[in-house]
Amino acid sequence: MTTLKNDLMLRTLRGEKTERTPVWMMRQAGRYLPEYRATRAQAGSFLDLCKNAELACEVTLQPLERYPMDAAILFSDILTIPDAMGLGLYFEEGEGPRFERTVQTAADIDKLFVPDPNQELQYVMNAVSTIKKGLNGAVPLIGFSGSPWTLACYMVEGSGSKNFAKIKRMMYDTPELMHRLLDIVSQSVISYLQAQIEAGAQIVMVFDTWGGNLSTKDYETFSLAYSRKISHALQATNPSVPRLLFTKGAGVWLETMADAGYNGLGVDWTTDLKLARELTKDSVVLQGNLDPTSLYASPEKIRQKVRDVLADYGHGHKHIFNLGHGILPDINPEHVKAMIDEVHQSSPAYHQ
C-alpha cells in the first residue's frame, strides 16, 4: 500500500489537528484548462473521454501538475449509473446531458436493475485504478456518485429541468413509485461507491445537485433519507474511508444533514460558513464555499475573497477550502493559482 505524501485532506476529515486548510476544487479537471480541451479533442467526445482509462487519468492529473491541490477527484460523470441501467446517456451540444429513455411508470421501474460495477461500470473502475497508480501516493483520490434523488431527477425528466414537474408529480401522486425508484438507485450507488473504494478511492463524495429544489419535509423524505442510507452502508464496510455530502442550496438543512453519517458537508456560497459551523455544532468538516463567479475578478480581489472565506470559518481544523459549486469553464487558470496560493499563505494562521 502506497503511503500518501500529502494526507492533509484525510487528516482533516478524521478531525485531526492540521497545519493549514486543505484545498481542491469541484470540477478541477475541466474546460477551463487548455490541456483538458486538447485531451478531450483527442478522445472525440466527453463520454469517450470518461470511458478511456488512460485519458481519464491524464485529465485527472492535469490540475495537480499546475497547482498544489490536496486531492484528486475521479474524472467521470454523475450519470454513469442510469446510463449503465440502459437509459442511453448522450450529450447535446450546449444543452447538457440527456437520456434516450426515461422512467415514468411502474413498468419502467420494473425494467431497472442494479448495475454490476465490474461489468456495466468496469470502465469507471479501470479509471479509478489507473488514476490511483498515476498519483503514486501524491494526494488522496476522491471517488463520487450522484445522489439517488439527483439521479432520479435526470432519469424521470430525461435531462435537467427548471421546475422538475415530472418527478414531483410522481413524488406527490405516487410516492410508493418514487420510493421504489429511489431504493434501486440507492442500492446502485452503494455498490458503485464500494467498488470505487476497492479500486483505490480513499474518499467518496455524494453530489446531491437537485436536493435544494425540495421543500424541507420532502428533502428529508426523498433525498436525505437515501443519502443517509448510503453513508451508513459504506461506513459499515469501510469505516476508515471518509464520506462527503454536498447538497446545493441546502444551507437551512445543515443541522439535519450533520446527523446523516457523513464526515464532511459541502456548503455552497449562499450560506455563511460561520452560520454553517453554528448549525452543525462543529460535529462535521465543512467544505467550501467561495462563490465560483468570484474567480472572474482580479487576482487581488480573489485573494481578498479567499481571506474572507477563511475568516468566516475562523480558527479550527474542520474546514476544507473549495468553491461553493463547480468551477466555471471560462475561468482564467491564473486566477485559480491566486486562490490556491492565498489558501496556502493565509490559512496556517487559523490552525495555530
Binding residue ranges for substrate: 27-31, 77, 154, 209, 325
20 is a catalytic site residue? no
- Residue set of the binding site: 27-31, 77, 154, 209, 325
Note if 77 is an active site residue: yes
- Report the distance separating Cα 44 and Cα 163, nearest Å: 33
Single out the catalytic residue among 32, 36, 154, 219: 154
Distance, in Å, from the CA atom of 154 to the CA atom of 157, rounded to the nearest integer, reads 5
14 in active site: no
Active site residue 154: yes
Question: Annotated catalytic residue: which of 11, 37, 40, 66?
Answer: 40
Q: What amino acid is encoded at 140 in this protein?
A: P
Which is catalytic among the residues 11, 14, 31, 307? 31
Q: Where are the beta strands (DSSP E) in 72-217?
A: 72-73, 89-92, 96-99, 141-146, 203-208
Active site residue 27: yes
Residues 6+ apart with CB under 8 A from 172: none
* Catalytic annotation, pick one of 11, 14, 66, 77: 77
Calpha distance 254→247 (Å, rounded): 9
Q: What angle do CA 253, 204, 3 make, to 5 degrees?
A: 135
Least Cα distance to 76 among 23, 117, 35 occurs for 117
Q: Which residue has the cell 448549525?
A: 279
The single residue of 27, 37, 66, 180 carrying the catalytic annotation is 27
Catalytic positions, please? 27, 31, 40, 77, 154
